[in-house]
Structure formats: structure tokens, C-alpha cells
Amino acid sequence: SGQIVLIARGSCTFSTKIRNAQNAGASSVIVYNNVAGDPISMGQDGTPNQPTIPAAMVSKSNGQAMATASTKTVSINGAAPQEFFTDGPSADILAGFSSRGPGFINNHLLSEIKPDVVAPGVNVYSSILMTSCASPPCFAFFQGTSMATPHVAGSAALIKQLHPTWSPLQVKSALENTAKRPVGSSSSNTPLSNPMDRGGGRIDLGAVTQITATLDVAGSASIGYGRLSATNDTGATDVPVRATSVKSSSVTYTLSVSRAVDGANAPSITTSTTTLTIGAGKTVKFDVFLTLQPSTVPGDYYGDILLSGGTVTLRIPYWIEVTP
């Protein structure tokens, strides 16, 4: 009775955790995160009889340090509030609840790389209905696709305002092919190299403003080969890429393949040229070739086709699952 309880995040809702502690006589609760990055705002689950005792969240590292403290006693000073700005080492960590690819429909694997991009979706201070708070203006913390999607939609609107004549595919290319990396794993903040985890990366409008070309990758901005058989799908698969200059001067690009997963018997990924010069306002085509052999080792292979030489490097993610 009267104790401050330390509880790990996970398994049940925050309301359930804090309610259980309150019913057991706790005076307050500290929840520690179970993923990398900053603490998050803890939302109610909407069930009746919400707990009323104070509760706060700390980071995974701080919580684990408290949990292993030999005296099991910690001092809490509420006189020095700390603000958390998701920046530095805590920035660009993929949320543990974020959906990942590949996608399936009726047990059929889809070839497209999903997600296309990732965007801020945790600890977002967003407007809410005036009827949902005591006095307007009304704001609350939210997270999830409901927050990430408006970031992408708003970014697309800003790009369209900057370039009114751009097509939807050019806007998509600008967001996806210039996206910021690394994006960290939710468990350890280790950089995620698989585009089925983070797409092209985290949207970066600063990079978009410096883009020198947009890419049409067979109607997309990435190359999803889907599932191919090393026995039945041998030979070369050709994906055409059209690069359109959005600069007032000629730019020469160097093309290369950056393989995140490779090996002695990995699929062969090549480009039809290693240099590409695009005149102002012009469009130039090149091809990306995938070649499988019967000896190709089954597994997931992914990486990027790089176009360097412009103000920002353009990256085309690719992904393939090879079966026997």
C-alpha cells in the first residue's frame, strides 16, 4: 500500500496496468518502455472505471536500470519536468506496431514493396474535436497511421504547391527516392536495411526541395519482383526506368547497385548503363536487369539502385523472394 509500482510496457493496455496497480493499493505507477526511443504518451483504452492515480512513462534503458537496482528503491523528483523532442538518437525509430511488408491477398504474395515510405506517427500532438476537451483549442497526443498518413498527405500537397505541373507519380518519386535513412529497429535502433520494413525511408522534404530528377520505375518508385523460382524463372527480367530532369541544366548521374543482401549465388542485379546524362527538362530511359540461375540460393534479397551526381542521391529500393 502506498508504493510506486514499476511496470513494463506490453501485453495489456496502459489503463489495465494502472488500474491493477491502483486496486492493489499503489500510490502511482511508472511504466517503462519495451522498445527503443523516447517514452510515449499513454492513452486510455476507453473502458469504464479508468484509474485515477498518477502514472508516467520512462525509457526502456531507465526502466531496466530501476528494475535491476539492488535496493529496489528510487527517488523521484517531480520538480524538474523534462521535455522530449524526438530528435538525435531517438529519431527515426520504426514504431513497434508499424505494419510491414510483403502484403498478401488470399495467401498470394504481392510483388509491390510496402510500405512505400514511413513518416512521423508516434507522440504526435494533434488537434481534436472541441467537444473532446474542457476548453478549446483542443489538442491531444496520438500515434499510428492516423498521424503518419496526414504527414505524407501534407508533404505531397506542399510538393504539388512547389511544382504544380508534377504528376502524382513524380510526387511519389520525390518522397520515396529521396527519403532519409537510416530508420532504426524498434527493438534495438539497429538500421533496417529491408525495404519491406521501412520502404524508401522516412520522408524528407528538405531533400525533396533539392531533387534534380524524378523517376518512373515501371509506374512506381521502387522495384518489387515478388516471388520467383530459381528453377522456373531463370534468365533476365527487365524493368524500365525513366528519369525526368526537373532542373534547368544538364545533370550526369552515376548508376550503381547497392546490395543489402548478397552472396556467391545471389541473384544478379545490373543496370543497362553506368552513366546517365539528362538534359534540362528531358527524360532518359535505362533498364534494371534481374538474372536468376538454377544455382541461385533461395531467400530474400534487397537493396537499392543508386543514381548519384545530383544534389541528392536518388535511391530505388528493390526486393525479391527467391524460391527453389
Tell me what pLDDT residue 256 has. 98
Whether 142 and 65 share a structural domain:
no
Band the pLDDT of 241: cuts 50, 70, 90: very high
Give me the domain span that covers residue 267. Answer: 89-323
Strand positions, DSSP E, 110-234: 124-127, 139-142, 213-217, 223-229
Tally of domains within the chain = 2
CATH of the domain at 26: 3.50.30.30
Please state, rounded to an integer, the average pLDDT across all residues of the chain. Answer: 92
Q: Note the pLDDT tens digit of each residue in 173-215.
A: 999 999 999 999 988 889 999 999 999 999 999 999 999 999 9
In angstroms, rounded to a whole number, what is the distance separating the alpha carbons of residues 227 and 323?
Answer: 7
Whether 135 and 205 share a structural domain:
yes
Do 213 and 251 form a contact (C-beta atoms < 8 A)?
yes
- The better pLDDT of the pair 86, 55 is held by 55
Whether 145 and 174 share a structural domain:
yes
Please give the radius of gyration of the chain, using alpha carbons only, rounded to the nearest integer. Answer: 24
Q: Note the pLDDT tens digit of each residue in 97-114.
A: 899 999 999 999 999 999
CATH of the domain at 146: 2.60.40.10
pLDDT at residue 94 above 80?
A: yes
**Percent of the chain scoring above 90 in pLDDT:** 74
C-alpha cell at 119: 513518416
The residues, any chain, with a CB within 8 Å of residue 181's CB and separated by 6 or more, are 191, 198, 201, 202
Q: Note the pLDDT tens digit of each residue in 1-15.
A: 888 999 999 999 999
Q: Note the pLDDT tens digit of each residue in 140-183.
A: 888 899 999 999 999 999 999 999 999 999 999 999 999 999 99
Tell me what pLDDT residue 44 has. 86
Whether 303 and 255 share a structural domain:
yes
C-alpha distance from residue 230 to each of 95, 117, 240 (Å):
34, 29, 22
Predicted model pTM: 0.87
- The better pLDDT of the pair 89, 19 is held by 19
Average pLDDT over residues 130-134: 84
Band the pLDDT of 85: cuts 50, 70, 90: low
Average pLDDT over residues 12-40: 93
Strand partners, 32: 8, 58
Do 211 and 246 form a contact (C-beta atoms < 8 A)?
yes
**261: nearest Cα among 192, 182, 178, 203:** 192
In angstroms, rounded to a whole number, what is the distance separating the alpha carbons of residues 46 and 57?
Answer: 19
Whether 39 and 179 share a structural domain:
no
Domain end residue (candidates: 52, 81, 110): 81
Q: How far apart are the first and last CA of the chain?
A: 62
Whether 136 and 27 share a structural domain:
no
Whether 158 and 286 share a structural domain:
yes
Whether 295 and 200 share a structural domain:
yes
C-alpha distance from residue 57 to each of 34, 45, 71, 314 (Å):
11, 16, 21, 39
In angstroms, rounded to a whole number, what is the distance separating the alpha carbons of residues 170 and 165?
Answer: 10
In angstroms, rounded to a whole number, what is the distance separating the alpha carbons of residues 177 and 181?
Answer: 11
Whether 268 and 121 share a structural domain:
yes
Domain end residue (candidates: 47, 81, 115): 81
pLDDT at residue 83 above 90?
A: no
Average pLDDT over residues 112-127: 93
Average pLDDT over residues 23-51: 90
In angstroms, rounded to a whole number, what is the distance separating the alpha carbons of residues 175 and 155?
Answer: 8
Domain end residue (candidates: 32, 48, 81): 81
Whether 211 and 304 share a structural domain:
yes
Whether 69 and 109 share a structural domain:
no
Tell me what pLDDT residue 70 has. 67
Band the pLDDT of 84: cuts 50, 70, 90: low
Tell me what pLDDT residue 61 has. 87
Whether 41 and 162 share a structural domain:
no
pLDDT at residue 87 above 80?
A: no
Do 257 and 272 form a contact (C-beta atoms < 8 A)?
no
